[in-house]
Structure 1
Amino acid sequence: MLTAKGLFQEIIDNDEAFRLFCSIAASGEAQGGWENGRIAALVPPGMRELAPKITRHGADEDKHGRIFHALLRKRGLDPVPVPPETDYTMLLERNGIGLPHDKLRREEPLSERDIIVYLSHSRVTEQRAADQMDMLVTYFGNHPELGKAIHMICDDEENHLAYCHEELLRLAYAGHGRLIHRTLRESALSEIKIYRDVSLAVMGHMGRILKWPAVKSAALVAGIHGMYAYERVGGWHKMVNLAMPERRDALGGPPVPAPAF
């Protein structure tokens, strides 16, 4: 029987598969760090109180990238180029989730609307990240090689998600509710398609590395399509609901260092 735990165990146990997994993860985190750093630098004057939190978010993403690289180094592995079809963050940006990179490369301040759109997009993608890390902690939280790293990243992702909830609710109360609702819905429906396509691409590469039989690969493809169908019918609502989090001001302090990595 195919299980998420079993699949990840196969990836962890094989150096080439683990190398690809960590390379994809590190690349995405590094891009997220750059994006948040640029957004923090371009926050409009009327919203400067958000800049330290966005900076903290970017610093956390950079830290996660370093953690994945450190996991590779501990095995004596070098990162590999990320196949474009598996690059989740790049594909998100190409499909309009996240602020355009050409805008972030300029030195012009962003608008209030840009920041609201950024937070809405982050609400959706951080839900995905938090759910994935929660799953990894459940299955591998006590793993001697990965446990400490995934606990640290999971805690950060929960902070990022809480921050998005709190700031979007504050902006909704300030009169931006309609824009937030529309952007969340559009982002979630786009994200689930991209996540499906990236999942298919990643599992295709893993199947070739791990030499999965055709029947196993076919079952995984069917499972990924089934998950997309569930999310398309209604599962996406989890990504757009807003509720005041238990963790208040989750990004209000300095980044938490990762000295072990």
Structure 2
Amino acid sequence: MLSAKSLFQEILDHDESFRLFCSIAAGGEAQGGWENGRIAALVPPALRALAPKIARHGADEDKHGRIFMALLRRRGLTPVPVPPETDYTMLLERRGIGLAHDRLRRDEPLTERDIVVYLAHGRVTEQRAAEQMALLLKHFAGHPEIGRAVRMIAADEDNHLAYTHEELLRLAAAGHGPFIRYTLRACALAEIRVHRDVSLAVMARMGRVLGWPRTRRALLTAAVHAVYAYERLAGRRRMVTLGMPERLDALGGPTASAHEYA
């Protein structure tokens, strides 16, 4: 029977597919760490209180990248280059979502609207990340090889999502509400399209590595398109609504060290 658990188990059990999975994940986390670090350094004076939380977010992303690299090392594997068509972060940037890397490389303070764009982008992408980690947590929390990594990363993603909700609500109360709603909608529409494209690219790569028959590839392709259609019509609402999280100041403390995992 084809299920999310059996699919990931198959990827986990094969060295080359696991190598590709961890390489893609580590690359995305490393990019996120760099982006958050630059944003923390360029926060406008009026929002300087946010800088430590943004830096903490970046430190978490860097930690996740190290965890995926540690998973590879434990199996005696080395990372592979990330195929461009699977680079979620850069594909979002090409669609104008989030803050462009060339903007972040300049030593010019960001504006309050830039911070709204950053947080809205995070609200949408962290929703995706939290959901994906919740799925892995459901099936692999007790796995001897990846269980501890899954538990740690899932907890961090929940914190990141809570943080974006709280800070966007604070900025909405300060008068940015209409721009926040517009930006969230634009981010969500772009993200579900990029997620579809990346999912198809990853499944195609995994299919070649694992030798999936044509029928399985067709079934998975249809499933990806079905998810996209649902999200395009109604599912994106979960990405654009805001609510005060149960845990406030989720990024107010230090990040847990990757050494605690390794």
Q: Supply the distance in 1 between the matched residues of 2:60 and 2:74 (Cα, whole angstroms).
A: 21
What do residues 30-61 of structure 1 show as CA deviations (whole Å, max 9, x unaligned)? 00000000000000011100000000000000
What do residues 216-250 of structure 1 show as CA deviations (whole Å, max 9, x unaligned)? 00000000000000101100000011000011000
After superposition, where does 1:1-261 map in structure 2 within 5 Å? 1-259=1-259, 260-261=261-262
Q: Supply the distance in 2 between the matched residues of 1:48 and 1:190 (Cα, whole angstroms).
A: 29
TM-fit CA distance, 1:254 = 1.2
TM-fit CA distance, 1:258 = 2.4
What do residues 167-215 of structure 1 show as CA deviations (whole Å, max 9, x unaligned)? 0000101111000000000100110000000000000000000000000
Which stretches of structure 1, 4 residues or more, deviate above 4 A after TM superposition?
Answer: none
Q: Supply the distance in 1 between the matched residues of 2:190 and 2:90 (Cα, whole angstroms).
A: 13
- TM-score between both structures, scaled by the size of structure 2: 0.99
Query: Structure 2 regions of 5+ residues with no counterpart?
Result: none
Root-mean-square deviation (Å): 0.6
Number of paired residues? Answer: 261
- TM-score between both structures, scaled by the size of structure 1: 0.99
Q: What is the one-letter code of the residue matched to 2:116? A: I
Q: What is the one-letter code of the residue matched to 1:198? A: V
Query: Structure 1 regions of 5+ residues with no counterpart?
Result: none
TM-fit CA distance, 1:93 = 1.1
TM-fit CA distance, 1:68 = 0.1
What percentage of aligned pairs have identical amino acids? 71
Q: What is the one-letter code of the residue matched to 2:85? A: E
Q: Do 2:66 and 2:258's aligned partners in 1 also have CA atoms closer than 8 Å?
A: no
TM-fit CA distance, 1:90 = 1.0
